[in-house]
Amino acid sequence: MESRRKIRLSSSPRNGTIAENARQNSFHLITATLQPPARIEQDRTANQQGDRHSRPGRDTCRTNHSTDLQSLLIEVYGRITKRRIPHKILADYIGHRLTQPSRLNPSRIIEWDHVAFSSLPKGFETIELSPTIPLGSVSSIAPVSQDWILTTIRNTEVISDPTNALALECAVRRQKLTRKNPADNSTVNLACSHRVLRAQRYQDPNALAHFRLLSLCSAGRDTGNFRFEKASIAEHVRFYRHAITQFIGHDIPLRVTFNDLSPGAVHADLLTEIIDGLSKELPSTRVELEESKSTTRGYYQQFRFHIHAEHKGKWVELVDGGDTDWTRKLLNNAKERLVTSGIGSERLCETFASP
């Protein structure tokens, strides 16, 4: 398979220096960026076998490649935009699936956010995320294709899932705590409401590429016997159940389901413990164990939960959550634990419109 790709730039007196530099570097930049996996593995092995003094130089070289490629792409798109015609931009705005505005009344979303934030458990902090996160923040730690994510030319990507951004912030805060005390088991609880953008195509032609999600993340340290996971998952479920009923009313039936994602479903007894506890706390809500969905393995680790609301005789999935290994990877610490969850705010607001 051909791994080398060339980029040609036309030169002009006005930007001849930039174009000349780009031409000289483009072949090496693209080759370095798109080298086949076997070559990448060879380089990684060479780094591991090399002495410590040689590694910084190689890492710096890779960093320079990334920065230079960014400069090259900025130059390319700068030239493209100069050729754009205003009426063509309007046509693209009308026809491009990534640029269409939401059909939902913003006041309904604001109302939901107010109810949700007012219902947050004690210890949760709300934050406003940046629209972008570092390149690879999702696909490098979770089984999600980068093709589903809108990648920018500045080595960042538009947020496609707030929980990945919250996980980064949780990792930053947990890192500060463990630097002072490596055994610190303080829990970091964060929440946000954020509009996400996803580049994958949906089967529903009316589905928008962007929508708002309200998400929670709880990060902490393993304390044994899945105590952290049990406590955090139960807290997330209680929050969503309370917030949803406050928003759509207590008369609409809700259903909470759990999946055991462990090989052989060895955590059935543990999930039964969680289900029994929640059933006693939430007597009007169905809480039950259901058969695992094989497609979820690899994203969540051991447990997954959903919350559904009944609408016109059918169950509508609103909430999805579970435990992940993201902070474990980000901090390179096997003792770190993370529970993430999110609710489709627009699905909730559209399905259960205000009276």
pLDDT value at residue 63: 53
pLDDT value at residue 3: 39
Mean pLDDT by 10 residues, the chain (355 residues): 38 49 52 49 49 45 68 89 93 91 92 97 97 95 92 94 97 97 95 95 80 97 94 97 96 95 83 93 93 68 95 96 96 97 96 79
pLDDT value at residue 11: 40
Q: What does each C-alpha distance from 161 to 1, 148, 154 come to in angstroms?
A: 33, 11, 19
CATH class of the domain at 106-351: alpha beta
Q: What does each C-alpha distance from 17 to 7, 41, 69 come to in angstroms?
A: 16, 35, 16
What is the spatial distance between Cα 209 and Cα 205, in angstroms, rounded to a whole number?
Answer: 10
pLDDT value at residue 64: 62
Strand ranges inside the chain, DSSP E: 124-126, 132-134, 156-158, 188-197, 210-221, 254-260, 286-289, 303-311, 314-324, 336-344
DSSP conformation letters of 274-287 = HHHHHHHH-TTSEE
Q: 343 with 255: CB under 8 angstroms?
A: no
What is the spatial distance between Cα 105 and Cα 212, in angstroms, rounded to a whole number?
Answer: 12
What is the spatial distance between Cα 207 and Cα 13, in angstroms, rounded to a whole number?
Answer: 47
Secondary structure (3-state) at 188:
strand
pLDDT value at residue 65: 65
In this prediction the pTM is 0.80
